Amino acid sequence: MVKRSVDIVVLSDLHLGTVGCHAVELAQYLNSIEPRILILNGDIFDIWNFKKYFWPVSHMNVVKCFLRMLSNGTDIYYLTGNHDEVLRKISSLQIGPLFVKDKLVLELNGERCWFFHGDIFDITMKHTKWIAKIGGHGYDLLILLNKAVNHLLEKMGRSKISLSKRIKDSVKKAVRFIDDFEVAAMDLAIQNGYDYVVCGHIHQPKIRGYQNENGSCIYMNSGDWVENLTALEYDGDWSMYKYNEDDFIDKEAPVRIPLRNVPRNEMMIG
């Protein structure tokens, strides 16, 4: 496969080490690109739920993809999340082209982009972490159930579904939490003079414009590789990549949703 050159790629919420991670698909995507910069925006390894007996070859292949990129000159920024928060103890570490940080600011075409995982906005994480961990185990069980359901649906010739996404979309509190999360990130970005704010954490891929009385900015979330299989790509413009298995069967161009000349207070992708 001919690799695509991409200036910047942002991935988050891979949750390597859990049954929910789509590691095979992720490795296919990583092997199809050659980024100048790769930003891993938190929850890459799910240290909360890591089990010694569960580390499939497919998960190791993802790590090998990262090592290949490092050896080929890609700068990798590993930004810590809540599921890999133990790495915050070494968040100033640099080993060659590998950087471990809690946040990152890049200037692209004269605009300031602020990258961080986003769990700082989650009150549950800050004050009742044990509840969050119980919820994480419940989420893993839901993913296992979802795999069984989709296996049956495939046997019946029907399309796959995402149970967790359906639940999130149907529960008003979940929808309101996501909107509150995004608005909090955008308000803080505007307050600090950033043009873009890029998060992960809530597993909701989106590109959204926003404006308040103090200014405007663009919020972006790279989604995850448990439910959505998405990434953000930058090549002069930002776009949302969505994995499609047909791309790797037919060798067709991947699906990319471009972001061009859209007012910050009107656009929404995701």
Per residue in 202-235, pLDDT (tens digit) is 999 999 999 999 999 999 999 999 989 999 999 9
Structural domain range at position 94: 4-269
Torsion of CA 40, 42, 45, 48, to 10 degrees: 180
Per residue in 44-92, pLDDT (tens digit) is 999 887 777 789 999 999 999 999 999 999 999 999 999 999 999 999 9
CATH number at residue 248: 3.60.21.10
What sign results for the dihedral spanned by CA atoms 180, 183, 189, 192? negative
Residues with Cβ within 8 Å of residue 19, at least 6 apart in sequence: 54, 140, 143, 144, 147
Nearest to 82 by CA among 123, 113, 54, 114: 123
Lowest mean pLDDT: which of 20-29, 62-71, 119-128, 171-180? 119-128
Residue whose pair of structure tokens reads 């090592």 in the numeric block: 67
The CA-atom distances, in angstroms, between 20 and each of 86, 173, 184, 233, 239 are 21, 24, 28, 23, 25
Structural domains in the chain (count): 1
Per residue in 109-151, pLDDT (tens digit) is 999 999 999 998 865 444 444 334 434 555 566 566 666 666 6
